[in-house]
Structure formats: structure tokens, C-alpha cells
Structure 1
């Protein structure tokens, strides 16, 4: 299954969500994370790994797809998992994405979950990955402007004959009314709520996904629920209020 993680604008934590969800999805099935933003890639930074060859070289026909796929091992708590990654290494001045749909279709034959971290915004680098995906999830922050930006993704998806599969509210601090607004404007399916947490920054500083660095934290449990929902395992997402949020900070 090809799954796009998208956002109307940058800065909402889309790549953070993509990386951490992909790590936990790898426990539920064979998973590859693809950095679909060839112009301003960021996944390799989150993984603290610089590839010698990457997606742009595959698109230009300089290397085979197999040569650009890397295997990463993670230990989450006491369990180990393998996540495959196809990274981008830009920034690049010019790159054509025409071959991207064919690449992810090939990956779909070998993987249960192909997670595509789509370029933020609605530019040409976002369109083809959206077109190639079977499911589209939109990441927003619990803010009206962010929700309005996310709504634009649904409009673009509709214009290419796609529907948004769910909305992911990131950096949640108890704003239930804004979660409901996101469901109304973007998708009724609330795929996940990922709380605001200082541990996200701490994990970034040590160069690890936070689900690896802090597997028992509340924010990691939020992503575990998200991963299950993406995988089709129904999990209840609770919209707790501000008081409960502050009592559960972690």
C-alpha cells in the first residue's frame, strides 16, 4: 500500500510524524519510507544518515532502485525492527519526478507499507507523489491557519480524483474544538493525535526518532495508535481537554 503523508505548508511536523510512524509500522509489516521531497529533503536529517546515492540518482537513471535503498535497524524498547529507506539528498536545482509513480509501484510489490513523505505545500513536487498514492493523510497543527492550509490538500486531491483518508493533528495541547474543525474541513477520519512534547526535540538532538529514544513516552504511544490506524487496525483516538493534556505531559 502506498501511503502519502502530506501538509498544506511546512513547519507542522509532517516529516517528524512520517519518520516515527514508519518506524512503528515496520513492526506491523514490511515497510519502506520514501522521501518524496527531492527539492528540500529532510528525512535523512531526522534519521541522522546521509546516503551516498538517493532517489534523485534513481530518477536520473544513474543508479538502480535497489542501490538507493538502505536498511536501518532500530530497537524500540526490547523489540528490534528493520525499516528500509529511499532518501533524497538535495537541494537540487532541477529534477523531474515523472518516474516517481513507477518507482513507488515497484516498491509496492515488495513492501506492505510504502510511506511517502510528500513535499510540503501544493507545488509540482507534491502533486505526483499524491497522484501515485492509494491513501493520503494530511498533517496539521491545532491552529485555524494550519487547518485552512490542510484543507487545500483535500481540494488538490479531489482535483486528481483522490480522497483524503484521514487527518493527523500534531502538536496537540488539548484544543478539542480545533480537532473537530480539522475533521469537518479535511477528513472525518481522525487518524491520529500526536501531543506536543519536549521529548521530540530531545530525540532530534540525539539523532534518533523519538519512538526509539523514548518508546514508553505518551507521545510515542500517540504515534503507535496512529501507525495502527494507518495499517487498518482500528484504534480509538481520544480528544482529551487542556487540563488532562497538562496532567499527561511527557
Structure 2
């Protein structure tokens, strides 16, 4: 039954997603508002497909910050939350690794939408470019979503935060809302996806202006509060 659910999900989600994604460059020609509507349609479709075919539900603890731009710093265990946070947090600008932004056509459309590109080598020039793009997003009233550990992390692993997070925190001077996520319980890196509940825990906002070590320690602890060994 698990494999049947996975096969049905892949057949429906990827078959319908293909024309949606291929149409993205066309939508991008009409500006970011059109891109937002297009993206929200796809993320809502993803939410429906995972719920209907895989039996994945969500438990939301705490609340996003509404009405003022912040940095959302989230745990990253699976592609599931990369899409779902786009749905939950509306027009937020997501920090995306450079490899994804370089995908032909799709990467161009993502940049038109307003993603923030990060070079994981963290050169000074790359960090400054990321900060400039983030400041532009904040000026438009958009929050920033970043996975500060830098990549998907298996359950039980808690690597240190990448330098890019500290750069954004120190330069943007806005609160940080940590998000703990335990998606790997139903969406493992290898093997079939399972039915169950994914928890999203929005932590208490961390104010700007703290020393780097303190800010990083508080974010690191908050995003890993749901983490358990695999």
C-alpha cells in the first residue's frame, strides 16, 4: 500500500507539475505578481497531492509573524518544506543555492520571482550580493526564508549554521523567526514516503542586534528542537 501511494503521488504530481513548471517562463513575462499567483497555485497543488495520495498532514505550532518583514530560519530535512513554506509564507523571498538558480529557463524564472541566490562557498562578494538582494526584498515588504544549515540534514544531525545566515542577520537588522520541522519522519531521503504528520514549530522571534554567537546559538537550538536521531 505504501508503494502504491507513492506511485500514485508521483504519477499525478509530476504529470501535472510538468506543464505548470514549463509555463513558468511565460508567466514571468507578466511580472512578479503573476509569478506569485502561478507559484501559489503550484504549492497549493503540492499540498493537496501530498495530503490526498501520501496521507501527509501538518501540525502547526506557533504562528508566522504577519505585517512586518522578518527572517525565517528553518530546519531542512526534505524537499517537502521547501515547497510548503512557500505556500505558508506567501510572498517571502527564499534563499536558494546557486546550482538551482542556474537551471536553464527555470532558474531565470525563479530570479524573476525574486529568489535570493547564495553561493555556498560564501565568498565576500557572494555574501554582499545576497545581502543586497535580501535588502531589496525587505524594501518590498517581503520576508526572507533561509535554511541556515545550508542543505538537507538527516534526522539526528545538527551541523553548525552557515556563514550566510550570520551575514543576513547582522546586515538586515530584522527579527529572526526560527522554524523547527520534522519532515524526515514521513519524507526520508531514501525509500518511500509515508503517511503521518509533519510538525512546523514557529519559535519565539529573536530580536536583531544580538552578538553573532548568541544569535546563532538561539537559532540553532530552536530549529533543532524537534530533531530526533534517525
| TM-score for the superposition, normalised by structure 1 | 0.35
| TM-score for the superposition, normalised by structure 2 | 0.37
Between Structure 1 and Structure 2, which shows a larger proportion of helix residues? 2
